Structure 1
């Protein structure tokens, strides 16, 4: 594994700016997640790191060595895509071994057997090694796809929304597994997603992209608790942050146009009266949908609340975030 440094990377396709002056260091052994909506520049970043695309300006360094002009094979990176991309006529064993048998790597067969066996154990698919790829479930196929990247022991693993095509339960299971695998193997990962739960549960670092610009980079808890803008604040947290007029509650600082309230940062039983519009019982907690002066607000309460639609609940801000008219953080 190795650290990867992006320095002032920019990439345009015609008049469309896909990436603009992005600088970021991915530490050795880190699990870095890039967050942002479609068109934010996430996949373009992966393609520039992998060597599938050349930047218009800027450079990529892997393990302290200049990599900007190198091919993907020379960079020693692997990429896992949303689709499985397995060879259906091959067994799991041969799918895992395939990249090691390339003319470039020329890996000895005894080393191939060692690496395939080790990765199969980590991925918990050792009992499936002699199965054809077509005999696997969706979750097992994605494990093999990830395993085919892991056997290479590359400088960095690049993953482009590898869990997004799976159902909700499989996604939740593989999130846990992928983080376990990364920790066990000490792998360096750059992972692209629009799923904020994946970012919060797996990442050591989160990079938030907005129209090709990296607007914040840091540990997920830091980005969640101290976002630099309203845009960043909306990228992490479920339910989403409540964005309300700053004057709705007293005490807004000068220059504030919007108050941002996380659902868990609303005090109950004090402040201004709000109407309960809807109650969502989720088992371990309950979401309350409130209306205050015409504004919709979501907050959290205990699982066994007696509140119901039409009731009144007094609320007040706790640890609020403030933003100016452009969405930049105030204070």
Structure 2
């Protein structure tokens, strides 16, 4: 069992509040992604769980056991940093073997060889096992860094934007592999990323952080379809949600200040006139940039649309979200 619980966790660095009374339960065997801009508290949350930093208030438990006073080594977690954190004088094989040769694990050499071989194949670095870490490209070094965590079988994996330095093709491949590894091993994984696609495709749960506060926690679909605020709504979805004055289409609730519309929730062919400002053909779909009553809107349409700049399109809202002046959702 590796359920991770943060109970009232707060952390400040000088006058800066990094985490503000965070309460979050990471279910056993889940793949949880933390989303938010730089400074939201994502990495600090990982450091609280790993034991690299201590909370000023509150506590962290893993598997029902309070982690207070326990070192990172005693917590049975494996962390992948945004930086590569490799031993430059060792070969790739030696870097991958290093965690397994810990006196705590006492892994047999035959098992070490098997695990290193399996992980190297998954990460497409089998042909680099004899190379020194200093002879690798940045993307290769990051793959080795990920491999150092994967060769172990910890209770919890902690990953801080591990795919950010990789090219698009490899990032897509490893995203699938990480999800498969996590699902097959049953391990709990807490993962930080700025990539909305990663969050939507690999997460079982998403935690949205804003200035050290956890503003929403749920499945990607729950947060996408039922955001609690403008901020939460803007964390998921590409293109981003359209946010315009609540009375732009009429019929808004009294407390509403703004209306939020996902691009797919702008119905075309009926309603009021808008003008096409730009057409973006993306292969499987087309994005329309519209001008509507002096406001810009983005919607999606058929991949083979014949619409062009200057055309007039009738639109109306469907499934709108309303938000008050503070950005909170209005029922």
Alpha-carbon distance between aligned partners in 2 of 1:131 and 1:14, rounded to the nearest angstrom: 43
Alpha carbons of structure 1 residues 173 and 138: separation in structure 2 relative to 1, 3 Å? farther
How far apart are residue 306 of structure 1 and its match? 1.0
Q: Do the aligned partners of 2:207 and 2:218 also contact (CA within 8 Å) in 1?
A: yes
What aligned pairs does 1:8-19 form with structure 2 within 5 A after superposition?
8-19=8-19
Q: Do the aligned partners of 1:83 and 1:165 also contact (CA within 8 Å) in 2?
A: no
How far apart are residue 126 of structure 1 and its match? 4.2
State the partner residue of 2:35: 35
Q: Number of residue pairs matched?
A: 331
State the partner residue of 1:252: 252
State the partner residue of 2:178: 178
User: Could you tell which deviates more after superposition, 95-104 or 12-21?
Assistant: 95-104
How far apart are residue 254 of structure 1 and its match? 2.1
* Cα offsets for 1:89-109 (capped at 9, x unmatched): 433221111112234433333
State the partner residue of 2:315: 315
* Cα offsets for 1:32-53 (capped at 9, x unmatched): 0000001111011011100000
**What is the DSSP-based 3-state SS (H/G/I as helix, E as strand, rest coil) of the residue aligned with 2:119?**
helix
Q: Do the aligned partners of 1:122 and 1:181 also contact (CA within 8 Å) in 2?
A: no
What aligned pairs does 1:30-109 form with structure 2 within 5 A after superposition?
30-109=30-109
Alpha-carbon distance between aligned partners in 2 of 1:87 and 1:146, rounded to the nearest angstrom: 14
Gaps of 5+ in 2: none
How far apart are residue 296 of structure 1 and its match? 0.3
State the partner residue of 1:229: 229
User: Could you tell which deviates more after superposition, 89-98 or 42-51?
Assistant: 89-98
User: Could you tell which deviates more after superposition, 60-69 or 43-52?
Assistant: 60-69
**What is the DSSP-based 3-state SS (H/G/I as helix, E as strand, rest coil) of the residue aligned with 2:178?**
helix
Alpha-carbon distance between aligned partners in 1 of 2:291 and 2:213, rounded to the nearest angstrom: 35
**What is the DSSP-based 3-state SS (H/G/I as helix, E as strand, rest coil) of the residue aligned with 2:199?**
helix
* Cα offsets for 1:233-263 (capped at 9, x unmatched): 0111000000011100122122111110000
How far apart are residue 135 of structure 1 and its match? 5.0
Alpha-carbon distance between aligned partners in 1 of 2:26 and 2:117, rounded to the nearest angstrom: 29
Alpha-carbon distance between aligned partners in 1 of 2:182 and 2:123, rounded to the nearest angstrom: 11
State the partner residue of 1:261: 261
State the partner residue of 2:2: 2
Alpha-carbon distance between aligned partners in 2 of 1:101 and 1:234, rounded to the nearest angstrom: 44
Q: Do the aligned partners of 1:21 and 1:58 also contact (CA within 8 Å) in 2?
A: yes
Alpha carbons of structure 1 residues 184 and 138: separation in structure 2 relative to 1, 3 Å? farther
Structure 1 segments, 4+ long, off by >6 Å, are: none
How far apart are residue 124 of structure 1 and its match? 4.7
User: Could you tell which deviates more after superposition, 132-141 or 270-279?
Assistant: 132-141
**2:240 aligned with 1:240:** yes
State the partner residue of 2:274: 274
Alpha-carbon distance between aligned partners in 1 of 2:54 and 2:132, rounded to the nearest angstrom: 37
**What is the DSSP-based 3-state SS (H/G/I as helix, E as strand, rest coil) of the residue aligned with 1:259?**
strand
Q: Do the aligned partners of 2:122 and 2:177 also contact (CA within 8 Å) in 1?
A: no
Q: Do the aligned partners of 2:142 and 2:165 also contact (CA within 8 Å) in 1?
A: no
Alpha-carbon distance between aligned partners in 1 of 2:9 and 2:70, rounded to the nearest angstrom: 16
**2:201 aligned with 1:201:** yes
Alpha-carbon distance between aligned partners in 2 of 1:252 and 1:172, rounded to the nearest angstrom: 41
Alpha carbons of structure 1 residues 300 and 7: separation in structure 2 relative to 1, 3 Å? same
Alpha-carbon distance between aligned partners in 2 of 1:170 and 1:93, rounded to the nearest angstrom: 21
Gaps of 5+ in 1: none
How far apart are residue 270 of structure 1 and its match? 0.7
Alpha-carbon distance between aligned partners in 2 of 1:143 and 1:23, rounded to the nearest angstrom: 32
User: Could you tell which deviates more after superposition, 134-143 or 155-164?
Assistant: 134-143
State the partner residue of 2:326: 326
- TM-score normalised to structure 1 length: 0.95
- TM-score normalised to structure 2 length: 0.95
**What is the DSSP-based 3-state SS (H/G/I as helix, E as strand, rest coil) of the residue aligned with 1:289?**
strand
* Cα offsets for 1:8-40 (capped at 9, x unmatched): 100011211110111111112111000000111
